[in-house]
């Protein structure tokens, strides 16, 4: 993930450098990479604080870094901000602010969305594999349908894209996602959230699969009953969610590619780079994936994610003993009031 992120950032920043290199903007490249370092430090620190709390508790040096992580991150960013202001040159003011904005938009496109990919992975490998494979499937099937049946241009930004390819890619991707979801939902390794276990000092993917990944019986609507000649069908609930993911991958995902095409046309370049012979740069391959990762994260937080007992427990373990006792007493009182626990008998 980090290597792909660095390469994508490098490709976009290099375009800006080539466009304005003749002006010899002071510190442009140095500051761009410095801001990348700051933002990565912030996001990696947030991940460590969220998912490695028990490990951090045992390391005193890490405790200091995590406790003041956001302040340190902000101080690092402020240092870069001050360096930028000090680097301003009268004859290049406008261009320098252009490139300052260029760097920050690049960080938003690459680093922020790469962080969301990591967040999706911690929810379970299936939330990474189904979306990313759906985008790939849509690219391939849209090309094939367009190649064999394409007649009607879709958008001026990409003259080779056709409505036939767009529609054919949509139906193919939905079918593919539905089947892929069924296959992957059978395996604990793909459906269990990725968690760090301090007792074994490693990541584990072991759990009792949630209802999302347990076969359920559904009644079919009338028109499907006539087609399939059966009234009920057994599905994993995740397969229904896969339809939403595949639909986004095939109908909205391509707009990430159209956006990238417009960007390249604006700067009169064919590809972001020539890293992959015949296919352009890494960013040319990931233009739709970043948009997809953001949607998956929003989808999980809006419709899927509930309270995480493991995460709550990790946070409790790092509290002071007095705070833990107060929470224990409050929880005990609450459970007694709900009738889950019996009150202690007074002797």
Total tally of structural domains belonging to the chain: 3
Identify whether residues 105 and 208 lie together within a single domain. no
Identify whether residues 95 and 214 lie together within a single domain. no
Domain range holding 15? 1-115
Identify whether residues 129 and 110 lie together within a single domain. no
Per the CB < 8 A criterion, the answer to whether 188 and 205 are in contact is: yes
pLDDT in tens, 63-83: 788 889 999 999 999 999 999
Identify whether residues 79 and 49 lie together within a single domain. yes
Identify whether residues 266 and 255 lie together within a single domain. yes
Distances (CA, A) of 16 to 28, 39, 40, 97, 280: 10, 20, 21, 12, 17
Decide if pLDDT at 95 tops 90: no
Q: What is the pLDDT of residue 298?
A: 95
Identify whether residues 239 and 289 lie together within a single domain. yes
Single residue among 46, 81, 115 that ends a domain in this structure: 115
Q: Given pLDDT bands bounded at 50, 70 and 90, which one contains residue 198?
A: low
| CA neighbor of 141 nearest in space, from 162, 161, 166, 158 | 166
Length of the chain equals 347
Q: Greater confidence, 290 or 331?
A: 331
Q: What is the pLDDT of residue 77?
A: 97
Q: Given pLDDT bands bounded at 50, 70 and 90, which one contains residue 21?
A: low
Identify whether residues 289 and 172 lie together within a single domain. yes
Single residue among 115, 148, 163 that ends a domain in this structure: 115
Q: What is the mean pLDDT of the chain?
A: 87
């Amino acid at each position: 993930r980090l290597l792909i992120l660095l390469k994508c950032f490098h490709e976009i920043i290099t375009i800006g450098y080539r466009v304005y290199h003749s002006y010899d903007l002071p510190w442009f490249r140095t500051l761009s990479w410095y801001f990348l370092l700051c933002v990565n430090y912030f996001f990696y620190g947030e991940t460590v604080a969220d998912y490695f709390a028990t490990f951090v508790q045992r390391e005193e040096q890490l405790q200091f870094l995590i406790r003041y992580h956001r302040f340190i991150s902000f101080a690092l960013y402020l240092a870069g901000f001050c360096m930028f202001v000090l680097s301003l040159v009268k004859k290049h003011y406008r261009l320098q602010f252009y490139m300052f904005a260029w760097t920050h938009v690049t960080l938003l496109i690459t680093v922020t969305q790469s962080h969301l990919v990591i967040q999706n992975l911690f929810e379970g490998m299936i939330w990474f594999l189904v979306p990313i494979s759906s985008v790939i499937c849509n690219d391939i099937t849209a090309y094939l349908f367009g190649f064999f049946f394409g007649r009607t241009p879709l958008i001026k930004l990409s003259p080779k894209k056709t409505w036939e390819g767009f529609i054919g890619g949509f139906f193919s991707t939905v079918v593919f996602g539905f089947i892929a979801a069924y296959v992957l939902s059978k395996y604990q390794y793909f459906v269990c959230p990725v968690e760090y276990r301090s007792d074994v000092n490693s990541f584990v993917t072991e759990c009792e699969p949630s209802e999302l990944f347990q076969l359920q019986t559904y009644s079919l609507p009338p028109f499907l009953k006539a087609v399939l000649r059966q009234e009920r069908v057994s599905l994993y609930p995740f397969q229904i969610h896969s339809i939403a993911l595949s639909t986004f991958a095939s109908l909205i995902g391509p707009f990430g590619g159209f956006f990238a095409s417009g960007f390249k046309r604006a700067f009169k370049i064919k590809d972001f780079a020539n890293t992959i012979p015949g296919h352009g740069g890494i960013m040319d391959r990931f233009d739709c994936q970043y948009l997809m990762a953001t949607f998956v994260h929003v989808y999980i937080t809006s419709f899927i994610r509930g309270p995480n007992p493991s995460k709550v427990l990790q946070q409790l373990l790092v509290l002071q003993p007095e705070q833990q006792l107060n929470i224990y007493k409050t929880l005990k009182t609450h459970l007694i009031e709900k009738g889950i626990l019996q009150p202690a008998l007074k002797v």
